[in-house]
Homo-oligomer: A and B are copies of this chain.
Amino acid sequence: MAGSDEVKLLGWWPSPFVMRPRIAFNLKSIPYDYLDEKFRAKSDLLLKSNPVHKKVPVLLHHGRPVCESLFILQYIDETWTSPPSILPSDPYERAVLRFWAACIDEELLFWIGTIVKARSAEAKVEALDKTKVGLKRIEDLFKDFSKGEKFFGGVRIGYLDIVVGSYLGWVKMAETITKVKLLDKEKMPGLVGWVERFCAHKAVKDVMPETDKLIEFAEKMLSKPRSNPCEIEKD
């Protein structure tokens, strides 16, 4: 196991993507130093470590940077190989999980972000509808992947749990802001049960941002536009 002095994570607390390596580290009991970026003030370390995208999360392992949350998750799993595994060992299962993780990132971030940022009622309604469609598909995926167990990963949290779960803070914030139920127990019984189990998990509960705090952040962001949940812009 690595000592905390050699594993640093550059993050930003509202980012869904930053939660991902934090959950993986918790699951694998890997100590790490967490450095939180400030609102619209990118640190020199971040700019130096991820000069292409200038985005968090960045994992620094022995000073070497690994960027992009999905690649960081795979790096953690390939580097600290002791259980629990985040990805399965079967190449086909891995390929399918990589595909769905990319799909979810493509769609969900955009629509949840739009719910929060949309200025017109029309745009907000469209984003809410699209998010519901996306969540319904994730409900179907949950049935396929969990096979009656507790998590997408089966008996334990795996890759898709972390990918989907990282959006839950934002989903709850969007529900509170709009007063529209997105995670509907009638339509998504599997997913709603999973949300409770996932959020209560000891590897998750301390890194899941509080809804009130996220709302406060969203208000601040909207009052000074030019940011999105995966990017920190320098003022």
Seen from chain A, the residues whose Cβ lies within 8 Å of a Cβ on chain B are 52, 61, 64, 66-68, 71-72, 74-75, 78-79, 91-92, 94-96, 98-99, 102-103
Contact = CB atoms under 8 A, between A and B. Distances in A.
A66 B92 contact: yes
For the complex of A and B, the 4 pairs showing the least CB-CB separation, nearest first, are A78-B91, A75-B95, A66-B95, A79-B91
With a 10 A CB-CB cut-off, give which of A67, A91, A94 has the most chain B CB atoms. Answer: A91
A92 B61 contact: yes
Given A52-B103, A103-B52, A91 B68 contact: no
Contacts of A68: 98-99, 102
A72 B95 CA distance: 7
A163 to B, nearest CB: 14
A74 B98 contact: yes
Given A68-B102, A102-B68, A74 B95 contact: yes
A74 B93 CA distance: 12
B79 A98 contact: no
Contacts of A78: 91, 94
A112 to B, nearest CB: 19
